[in-house]
Structure formats: structure tokens, C-alpha cells
Chain A
Amino acid sequence: MASISTQKSQLCDVPNIGIDIGGSLVKMVMVVEKGSEKNTKQASDDLHALEKFILKSTCTGAPKQEGWQAGVINDSDGRRSIHVVVFPTADFEQAMQMVGAQSTGQSKTGICVAATGGGAQRHKTEMQELMDVSVHMVNELQAVSLGWQLSAAWQNAKQEGLALVCNVGTGVSMISIGPDGTFERVGGSGLGGATFWGLARRLTAYRDFNAAVRAAHASGDASRVDTLVGDIYGVETSREIGMPADLVAGFLGKLDSQSASDADVVAALLRMVTNNLGQLAVYQARAMGVDTVWFTGGFFQQRPHGLGDAGAGADASDDEAGVVQQAVAEAVAFWSGGKVEARFPADAPLLGALGAVAASEGTA
């Protein structure tokens, strides 16, 4: 089982900082053991620029840029606190320069951070140069797997047998995790969160993910865009042949209908993508013989719960996460006849970054 011990922090090679550079957001975590906190504050002069940056960003009342979010989460057993900074991937360059500016030139150099996510490889050199750190690369799926195990462990959930984690960010990866921490990508799809958003941007005027999802939930009606059984057979015949008239026969089949609003289109796109996700996940679960699918990734929840909100656009993130999660949960229930359950781990957006720290621990 993965574990994190961070007592050594800046004094050795083992990272206690994990950075997950996703397609949309960068998730940065710093794990601090209780008891060592005071020391870090006292020895703040000794701190590395990146550590200072994180501490500064996460202290109460710190000024935040638009789209940024930061805060401190205490884990359930109270042994450690996790400092979290989340910001748009587009701001990463800027963030790295801010770190560079923190550097006094007196701090100890050469701390190591664990990096994962699609952008890690691309930004590796920049991170090393701008932030003065050494970067330990962690396989993204390994990070998610370990992160998921950590999260489960913190919630005292005991893993028996294989677990299926369906990570939906830009695309989809289905990961089978063994109790011993071994993991395998058993499936996946290019039809993921970014497909939904790419299509939504082409087809509607929405330019903000959360606003689109909110509108879809509030006023969107997918049946104005999807071809329903009733559209083909008529309502009466549908009843005669025993098929619900409101069952979807073809997703988006009425997309060119003039009466469909942008909210309707987003609702239909969301129904299509989540339904398909649910279907793939249920088949994968059956093939593995498990009755739970853990859904993780930015598609369900862009931002961690309970952090200090920063700027506009993040204020209602829980609601949007709820809408998407609910849609997938319904699809899973539909395709499994209620026999498979969709679950969404707490701290889902942070699993990659936390897992990266845990992975580095294991390798040191």
C-alpha cells in the first residue's frame, strides 16, 4: 500500500511536492507532516523558492488570481496536511516565473518534485530551469492508481481484488488496479471530456465549461436534439411494441432542428458522452467481475472541494461536478441494470499529484 512520509522534505531527494500538469489545469500539492509544520515556518529562510510559493499561496487570505484556487486540506487521520494550488495550465509559465522570483539565492537548492500528467514531459526542462528543481517523472496512470489507493486508504476503504478506475480527462483511460498496487490500462477511449467540450464549442456559443454544464442542467432538453424511439415509431406504436417513446434511438439525430437551443445541444452532448462512458465502463467492469467503477479525472470534477475559491468561474464548481457525476452514475445504472455502482473518490482532482508523490517515495 502506498504511503507518504514527508519528514525529510527539503533536506533530501525525496519529493513531498507533486505537480500534475493536465490538459486544462495544473494541480500542485505539497504534503506536510504534522509537527514538522512549525519547523518549516521557523526555518522559512531555508525553504526552497517553490515551497515558499506554495506556502504563500495557500495561507489564509492570500490574494489570488482569476481561475486560481488554493488551500490546505487535512487528511482524515490528522497526521498530515496537504497544501494545494490549482491553476489553469495556460498560467503555468507565469507560475514558474513567480517561483523563480521567490528565489533569494540563499535557499537550499536541488529539491526534487514529482511530476505527472500529459504536460510533464513537455515542461520538464522549463521547470528545472525556471524553478530550480530536479524533476522526477511519474507515469500518469501509475500516479492515478497510487493516488486512488491513497485516497481509499485515507478513507479506510479496504481494497479486495481488482479495482476499476475510469479516468476521464481529455480522453478516457480505464485502469485495473491490483491490491498490490500493480496497474494495467485495460481500456480507454478517445471519446472523452475534451470531445464533449470540443463539440460544444463548435456547436454552441458557450465558451465556459461550467456555464455550459450549468445551463444544460438548468434549462437544456436533450430530447429536442436526440432522435427518440417515439420520433421513429410514433408514441402510440412505441407503446404497442413495448419500447419507451422517450428512449434515445440516435444521439444528436435532430441536431439540425431549428428549435434546439444551445442549452439543449449541450445537454444532448453531455448525455451522449456520459452514456457512452457508462456503457464502456459497465462492460469493462463485467469483464473484470467487479461491481464498482471509480470515476476520476477532470471531466467530473475540475477542482478540489473545500479550497478557498479564487476568482470567478470557480464559485459553483461543486454543482457542475454534481451534474456530470450524476449523468455518469445514471448511465452506469442503466447499462448494468443497477448491478454496477459508479463512485467518485473525494479529492479526485488531486489523485494524480498525490500519486506522483507516493510513486517517488517508493522509488527513492
Chain B
Amino acid sequence: MMFGNINSSGAVIDELESGMVSDILLPNQTGRVQKVAVDIGGSLAKVVYFTMTGAGGRLHFQAFETDNVDKCIAFIKTLLDSRGDSSSDLPVIVATGGGAHRFGDLLRSQLGAEIRVEDEMQSLTTGLSFLIREVTDEVFTYAQDQPMQFVNAGSEDPFPYMLVNIGSGVSILKVTGEGQYERISGTSLGGGTLWGLLHLLTGVQSFDEMLEMTKTGDNTKVDMMVGDIYGTNYDKIGLKATNIAATMAGVYRKSLGKQYNEADIARSLLYMVSNNIGQIAYLNAQLHGIRRIYFGGYFIRGHPLTMHTLSYAIDFWSKGQMRALFLRHEGFLGATGAFFNDEPRANDAQRSRRRGYPRTRTYSFTENFSVAQSIAGAESVGALGSLDRQPAALEALPQLVDTRRHMYEPDTVDLASNVEQQAYWIQAMERNTRGLMQMASDGTLPFEGNLQRMQAFGKLYLRHLCRLREQPLAYGPMSVRALLGLREQCLHEVGLHDIFAEVKKRETDAALRQLPQALATVDVLDQAEDQLRLLLQNVLAGNMFDWGASELRGEIADGELDFARARDRITWQPQFDSSQEFVHRALKTPYNRAVVFVDNSGADVCLGVLPLVRFLASQGTSVVLAANSRPALNDVTEPELNDIVERVSAMDKCVERAVKQGNLVVCGTGSSGPCLDMRMLDERLVSQCADADLVIIVGMGRAIHSNYRARFTCDSLKLAVFKNQMAADAAGARIYDALCLFEPGISAEAIDQS
């Protein structure tokens, strides 16, 4: 198996095999296998399969060498067998690629299942359209001096595009819409040619080894360079002395006296094939008036030199007008497409309904890196995670400003380019993880589940962090959001679904006992203005109770931090405080509907957020409380918040009335991380938010690490405390400064014109 789970999951698998933690079975992989797609190419057999888990599910990717197709078939058989006898429905095997025909009979006889063969080109385009639609940060550009720049397509129509699929041979497809494609060209001078030549010229067997060789090779030792002929640049026609005049032409010109080795030949031929494909791709794009050129297929395999050469060719021939685009799941286009070919597609009516956001989703996936697979060898760019299908479709908040001129970028700091912050955050996560494990083992953190799982989690996550330190872009863009999200994924992966469940329950109970007193303190004030100001301060005080903040966690765990003390700790600076503007605006004309993205359970939501919501409701504002759909740290979840609201209704008439009248509803965000991507919210939440004229975002994860620069077409209020030194430094704040940022709504058109 060439892909193998070479990294992270090894932590779990090693222990499984040694019998240490035999009860840890990757829970998400035990789901029922629904469907298997296999793409058998000339060199590799790629398997994509889907497992159901409750309302969601997971799409897995696996690859085998075609020479070992038996292994691939055995693997599929294991998948089918895992269904047990209980399943009455016949498994569906979808096959594509040249080998689908060649190995059709073998598949049928070995698997005892019906094999449905899907057209190869159709599958490729369906796969690509699916991936660019469903996977954030799937697409990137590459150059040696600017490795892996992720392309945010925003709300742009992804069509038309061109797909250059490089396998043994090369196919060039023009795709004008979902399921609409045409093979416009191709060449047989592709990966197979390179492998054949390199095998014969260097004796090396595997493609990975060949790619390895290209790294140390120097093509100028076998190629005839422009400089070899002219002695200098050929400026009149724009050729540099370092440009290749003729591939491999240096080897028989004795006069050039070139000494070369096999690695030099390998690099020369890699350049030759990539350059030539790039040129043919450019010429086709030019003839068909297409500017987006995706390169896919197993030839690329994240190999930096290959991608650099293709990018260079496109840039050179198009004089900078076109860019070569690459995909993280490049090797799996065909298998993914075969899998989805017969799935219902969003129809045109749906598409026009969501005008301005043409990336229609029939259902939505998020990428999970906890069991990441490397795309190829150690030097390759990127890894790919499995895709978790969310129980609901994910959509953008309608009020989010995300236009070509003002593109929404969820993350505040790009840790890939900011080396200092990157080192800090990786180290902070490592410290934090060790702290968590310590707290779990000494009982400071009472949690359900056994310690071995906790250790397995620690090992898994620390291994990911180790890899990210070496390859910051291995899992796409690196941000605090990504690091925090990965931690949650790792916890879930080892079966720890909610380690803070008990803590949350305990703190919520304690907070609710204090609630009547807290409400009375506000109600006693005469002026609405004073009430609202105190309520805002309380939200920030509540937000101090955050187990994710290493600086405070000790005090919280020891019960040393009380609400009043937390409020006193917070400092206010004019540049982060526009509470006056908000109070003024909120009291002038009550808002129609507010959507509040909440943060922690306990004091945060009970003593901070709910009293503010109660005030807004009393003003006639209907409120949507948006909470994480699934657990992350001590963040309150949708079910927990429902329970809390119910208990508060029993204590307070005002809240009870709001709930009864449907003016206070709880909705899941669709997310399970401490930060938030406003483009990926549960469609049910989105439908509740249609007429919201106020967005409130609470907490450091959602308002500082992410969404700090997000703008909305309606008014917005960001409420958080800088509880981390690095985050504070980055924003020019001091630790424990309050963020109470009110921003009036701005129209997308106004932003584009500004």
C-alpha cells in the first residue's frame, strides 16, 4: 500500500497491534459501509468508500498499486464483510478507470457483488467539481518561492474550467457545468512515458524513488541549455541562458564535455514531460478561452518539482495571465467522481434560489485530518484527510460579506507565513495537550472514558503537531482555528467525544444557582443604558471562564476565579471598545432579530450571554442562539443550551415568555470547533437568520482567532477578552483587554466600490 496511514493514525494502530489499548477502535471507521468506488488506473488503484455514522458519515480515501490489485480487492472485501449479516441490501461497487474493465471479472468473482462501471472522464469531472465545491482549501497554486497558496474561490462561478489529468497518459477536459464536459485534447507523452524512460535509464523501479532522484539531479548536465549554444542569453527572443534549448541533447555533444549521473537524467526527463504537458495545456486553454487550469492525476502526487514545472510552463507561456491550479485530493478525482456520479445533484432551481453563492451543496463535508494520509513521499506537498459528511447542509451566513473585492477569510493570522506565531502556537498546543493529559490523570479534569484513550489522543495530536512543525502547510492553511479544530478531531477519533461533559455540567449548575442574583443586580438599575452596559461587562466577565485559556485554567479548576473577580481583571481600551455606540444604537430602535454565536458553558453562557439575551428579548428583539452542534472543549453545545434555556425559563418569566412566543430559539451552528467559519453554517441556522439585523459573536475563538476582520451587511458586535498574550500582542492589545467591537452593517456593493 503506497499511501498507508503513515502518520497520525499509526499512533493508534501501533498500540492496537501491540494489544495495549485494544478497546480503541477508530470509532468513525466502524460505521456501516454504504458504497465503495474503485478507480483502477495503469499504476494505482484508488478506493473511495463511505461509512454511515448516525446522521452523518465519512468518506475515506485509500490507494494501492495496481500490480497488487489483489490487496485492493482484499481490502474491499474486508469493508464489505464488516457490514455483517445484518445488512440485507446488496453492497454497491462502482468501478472506473481502465482497470475497471480489465479487472471487472476478477472484482465480480472475488467480491460477489454487482459491479457498476462508470465512465472515466465523467467520473473525473464529477470528482473535481465535487471537491472544489465541498472542500475548503482544496485548490492551491504552487511555485518554488511561493509554495502552496490556497485559492479562495469565494462566490465565483467555478465553471468553465479545464482539467489536465495526468496519469500514464494525459487527458485534457473542458468542463462547462455540473456533468457537462468534453475531452478536447490529450497526449500520450505522460507519466507512463516518464516512468518507462526512467526505469530503463536508471534501473529504478518505483515512481517514488524516481521522484526522489529528481531532487538531487541537475538537468543542466544532460540538457543543452540556451547558454550552451549561444554562450549567453538570447534576448531578442526572450530566452535566458538558463532556459532549456533541448532536453537530453547534452549527452552526445562531446564538445560540451558534460559529466552526468542518473539523477541528472531523471530531473531532465521530469522537466521535459512536465514542461511539455504545461505547454499543451496552455495552448488548449488559449484556444478555448479558459483561464482556470486544474492539474490532476497521480503523476503530480504533491511533488514540488513537478508542480513547479507545470506552474512555470503555464506562467511562461501565458505571460502571467493564467495560473496552474492543483488539488489536494488530486489522485482521487476519478474514484470520488465514480462515487458521486449517480448521487442527486442540486438542480437549477436550487441554484438560483441561492443566488450569489453558486456553490450549491446537496450535502456538505468537512475535512478531518485526524487520520490524515500523506499524498506521496516525505517531500510531497500536503496531506489529505477523510471527509466527514455533516448531518445538515452547510451554508454561508446570508449577512456575511464575501465578495471578490472583500473576500471573507475566517482566520485572523496565517500561521504558515508568520513563523514566530506559528512556533508559539504549536508549542502552546503541545503544552496545553500535556496539561490536559496531566489534569486527566490527576483527576483535576473529571471525564468519562478511560485514561488510555486520553493518552492515545495525546500521542496522536502531538504527532500531528510534530508534522506541522516540519510541514506547516501539510493540512492546508495553518491557523489557530486549524490547530484547535485538529485537536477536537483527534479527541473524537480516539472515542473521546466530550471530555468536558462533567465540568460543563458542574459549572452550569453552579452558574444557574447564581443567576437569580445576577439578574436582580441588573434589574435594580433604573436606566436601560446602565443595565445594558453592565450586561456587556458581564458577558466579558463570563467569557473569562474558559478552559481553553491556559493562563486561566489553573484558577478555574481550583475554583479561585469568581465572577466579580473576573470582571475586575478585565481592562478597557478605547480602540477595542465601542460599547457606547452599541448601547446607543440598541436603545434607539430595538433590533428585529439578533443571532448570537455563544462560547463556553457555565458562567459564560448562563451569567453573561443569557442575561443580555433576556434584555434584548424584553426590548422586542427575537433572538437566535447559535451553539456548537457537537462538543469542543467546554463550549456549550446545542443540546446543552436547549437544556439551559429550559431551566432558565422555569426561573424567569421574561425568558419563559420569549421562548413561548418563539422569540428565543436555540440552533446548532453545524460546527464542532472552538473557532468558526461563517461560510459553513447549518442550513437550519441560516434559514433562521434570514432577517437578522444584528450579529453578536462571543469569545476569543470565534471573534479574535477567527472572524476578527469579518464584515457583515447588518450591524455586528464582537465580544471577547484577549486571554492569550500572543493573540493580544498580534492585535496590539494587552492581556485581559476587553474586545467590545460594534460595527454598523455595510453593503457589499459599498465595500466593492470603496
Mark out the residues of chain B between 167 and 189 whose CB falls within 8 Å of any chain A CB in the assembled complex.
168-169, 185, 187-189
Point out the residue from A170, A249, A283 that lies within 8 Å of B246, measured CB to CB.
Answer: A170
A254 pairs with B201, CB closer than 8 A: no
A118 pairs with B230, CB closer than 8 A: yes
Point out the residue from A141, A202, A287 that lies within 8 Å of B248, measured CB to CB.
Answer: A202
A234 pairs with B102, CB closer than 8 A: yes
Which residues of the other chain, B, contact A287 by a CB distance below 8 angstroms? Answer: 283, 286-287
Point out the residue from B196, B243, B248 that lies within 8 Å of A256, measured CB to CB.
Answer: B196
B232 touches A (CB below 8 Å) = yes
Point out the residue from B42, B201, B276, B286 that lies within 8 Å of A191, measured CB to CB.
Answer: B276
One of B139-147, B221-229, B352-360, B362-370 at the interface: B221-229
Contact string against B for A residues 181-223, beta-carbon threshold 8 Å, 1 for contact and 0 otherwise: 0000101011111110111011100000000000000000000
A171 pairs with B245, CB closer than 8 A: yes
B251 pairs with A198, CB closer than 8 A: yes
B255 touches A (CB below 8 Å) = yes
- Name the residue on A nearest B192 (C-beta): A250
A185 pairs with B169, CB closer than 8 A: no
Interface residue tally on B, bucketed by range: 35 or more
B280 touches A (CB below 8 Å) = yes
A261 touches B (CB below 8 Å) = no
Bound together, the chains give a CA A283 to CA B283 distance in angstroms of: 6
B272 touches A (CB below 8 Å) = yes
Measured CB to CB, the closest approach of chain B to A87, in angstroms, equals 15
B102 pairs with A252, CB closer than 8 A: no
A139 touches B (CB below 8 Å) = yes
A256 pairs with B200, CB closer than 8 A: yes
Bound together, the chains give a CA A119 to CA B253 distance in angstroms of: 13
Which residues of the other chain, B, contact A286 by a CB distance below 8 angstroms? Answer: 287
Bound together, the chains give a CA A189 to CA B274 distance in angstroms of: 12
Bound together, the chains give a CA A250 to CA B194 distance in angstroms of: 9
- Name the residue on A nearest B197 (C-beta): A252
A190-B245, A190-B246 known; A197 vs B197 contact (CB < 8 Å): no
Instruction: Tell which of A119, A248, A250 has the most Cβ of chain B within 10 Å.
Output: A250
- Name the residue on B nearest A255 (C-beta): B196
Which residues of the other chain, B, contact A249 by a CB distance below 8 angstroms? Answer: 42, 98, 168-169, 188, 192
Which residues of the other chain, A, contact B196 by a CB distance below 8 angstroms? Answer: 225, 227, 250-256
A191 pairs with B192, CB closer than 8 A: no
A237 pairs with B102, CB closer than 8 A: yes
B193 pairs with A189, CB closer than 8 A: no
Which residues of the other chain, A, contact B249 by a CB distance below 8 angstroms? Answer: 23, 170-171, 192, 194-195, 197-198
A197-B252, A199-B197, A232-B102 known; A250 vs B42 contact (CB < 8 Å): yes
Contact string against A for B residues 216-252, beta-carbon threshold 8 Å, 1 for contact and 0 otherwise: 0000001110000111100011100001111111111
A275 pairs with B283, CB closer than 8 A: no
A194 pairs with B197, CB closer than 8 A: no
A272 touches B (CB below 8 Å) = yes
Bound together, the chains give a CA A275 to CA B244 distance in angstroms of: 20
Point out the residue from A202, A233, A272 that lies within 8 Å of B102, measured CB to CB.
Answer: A233
Measured CB to CB, the closest approach of chain B to A143, in angstroms, equals 12
A226 touches B (CB below 8 Å) = yes
B133 touches A (CB below 8 Å) = no
B101 touches A (CB below 8 Å) = yes
Bound together, the chains give a CA A80 to CA B203 distance in angstroms of: 57
Which residues of the other chain, A, contact B229 by a CB distance below 8 angstroms? Answer: 23, 118-119, 170
B102 pairs with A198, CB closer than 8 A: no
A118-B230, A251-B193 known; A276 vs B276 contact (CB < 8 Å): yes
Measured CB to CB, the closest approach of chain B to A17, in angstroms, equals 22
- Name the residue on B nearest A21 (C-beta): B229
A226 pairs with B188, CB closer than 8 A: yes
B276 pairs with A227, CB closer than 8 A: no
B199 touches A (CB below 8 Å) = yes
Which residues of the other chain, A, contact B222 by a CB distance below 8 angstroms? Answer: 198
Measured CB to CB, the closest approach of chain A to B365, in angstroms, equals 31
Bound together, the chains give a CA A279 to CA B279 distance in angstroms of: 11
Point out the residue from A119, A233, A240 that lies within 8 Å of B98, measured CB to CB.
Answer: A233
Point out the residue from B191, B232, B251, B272 that lies within 8 Å of A201, measured CB to CB.
Answer: B251
Bound together, the chains give a CA A79 to CA B444 distance in angstroms of: 106
Measured CB to CB, the closest approach of chain B to A155, in angstroms, equals 27
Instruction: Tell which of A122, A193, A240, A251 has the most Cβ of chain B within 10 Å.
Output: A251
Bound together, the chains give a CA A194 to CA B185 distance in angstroms of: 26
Measured CB to CB, the closest approach of chain A to B313, in angstroms, equals 10
B51 touches A (CB below 8 Å) = no
A241 touches B (CB below 8 Å) = yes
Which residues of the other chain, B, contact A170 by a CB distance below 8 angstroms? Answer: 224, 229, 245-246, 249
A333 touches B (CB below 8 Å) = no
Measured CB to CB, the closest approach of chain B to A233, in angstroms, equals 5
Bound together, the chains give a CA A225 to CA B252 distance in angstroms of: 23
B455 touches A (CB below 8 Å) = no
Which residues of the other chain, A, contact B582 by a CB distance below 8 angstroms? Answer: none
Bound together, the chains give a CA A320 to CA B246 distance in angstroms of: 21
A279 pairs with B200, CB closer than 8 A: no
A194 pairs with B246, CB closer than 8 A: yes
Instruction: Tell which of A194, A203, A237, A280 has the most Cβ of chain B within 10 Å.
Output: A194
B284 touches A (CB below 8 Å) = yes
Bound together, the chains give a CA A191 to CA B246 distance in angstroms of: 6
Point out the residue from B192, B248, B279 that lies within 8 Å of A252, measured CB to CB.
Answer: B192
Mark out the residues of chain A between 112 and 131 whose CB falls within 8 Å of any chain B CB in the assembled complex.
118-119, 121-122
B168 pairs with A227, CB closer than 8 A: yes
Which residues of the other chain, A, contact B634 by a CB distance below 8 angstroms? Answer: none
- Name the residue on B nearest A284 (C-beta): B283
A11 touches B (CB below 8 Å) = no
Which residues of the other chain, A, contact B280 by a CB distance below 8 angstroms? Answer: 279-280, 283
A198 pairs with B168, CB closer than 8 A: no
- Name the residue on A nearest B245 (C-beta): A171
Instruction: Tell which of B102, B249, B250 has the most Cβ of chain A within 10 Å.
Output: B249
A59 touches B (CB below 8 Å) = no
A171 pairs with B192, CB closer than 8 A: no
A170-B246, A195-B272 known; A253 vs B201 contact (CB < 8 Å): no
A12 touches B (CB below 8 Å) = no
A101 touches B (CB below 8 Å) = no
- Name the residue on B nearest A229 (C-beta): B98
- Name the residue on B nearest A207 (C-beta): B252
Which residues of the other chain, B, contact A226 by a CB distance below 8 angstroms? Answer: 188
Mark out the residues of chain A between 253 and 308 whose CB falls within 8 Å of any chain B CB in the assembled complex.
253-256, 272, 275-276, 279-280, 283-284, 286-287
Which residues of the other chain, B, contact A152 by a CB distance below 8 angstroms? Answer: none
Point out the residue from B230, B248, B279 that lies within 8 Å of A198, measured CB to CB.
Answer: B248
Bound together, the chains give a CA A237 to CA B105 distance in angstroms of: 12
Bound together, the chains give a CA A283 to CA B186 distance in angstroms of: 12
- Name the residue on B nearest A194 (C-beta): B249
Point out the residue from B102, B201, B237, B253 that lies within 8 Å of A203, measured CB to CB.
Answer: B201
Bound together, the chains give a CA A99 to CA B126 distance in angstroms of: 69
Instruction: Tell which of A23, A139, A201 has the most Cβ of chain B within 10 Å.
Output: A23
B190 touches A (CB below 8 Å) = yes
Point out the residue from B188, B195, B200, B287 that lies within 8 Å of A248, measured CB to CB.
Answer: B188
B284 pairs with A194, CB closer than 8 A: no
Measured CB to CB, the closest approach of chain B to A344, in angstroms, equals 21
Mark out the residues of chain B between 471 and 505 whose CB falls within 8 Å of any chain A CB in the assembled complex.
none
- Name the residue on A nearest B236 (C-beta): A139
B231 pairs with A122, CB closer than 8 A: yes
Measured CB to CB, the closest approach of chain B to A211, in angstroms, equals 14
Please name 13 further chain A to chain B contacts, defined as beta carbons within 8 Å, in addition to the given A250-B169, A251-B188, A251-B193, sorted by A numbering.
A118-B245, A171-B244, A171-B245, A189-B276, A191-B272, A191-B276, A198-B247, A203-B201, A225-B196, A250-B42, A255-B200, A272-B193, A280-B280
Q: Provide a sorted-by-A list of 7 A–B residue pairs whose CB atoms are within 8 angstroms.
A: A170-B246, A173-B237, A190-B223, A194-B249, A249-B98, A250-B196, A253-B195
Q: Which residues of B are interface residues toward A (Cβ below 8 A)?
A: 42, 98-99, 101-102, 168-169, 185, 187-193, 195-197, 199-201, 222-224, 229-232, 236-238, 243-253, 255, 265, 272, 275-276, 279-280, 283-284, 286-287, 317
9 shortest A-B CB distances, which residue pairs?
A250-B192, A194-B249, A198-B248, A118-B229, A255-B196, A283-B283, A253-B192, A190-B244, A232-B98
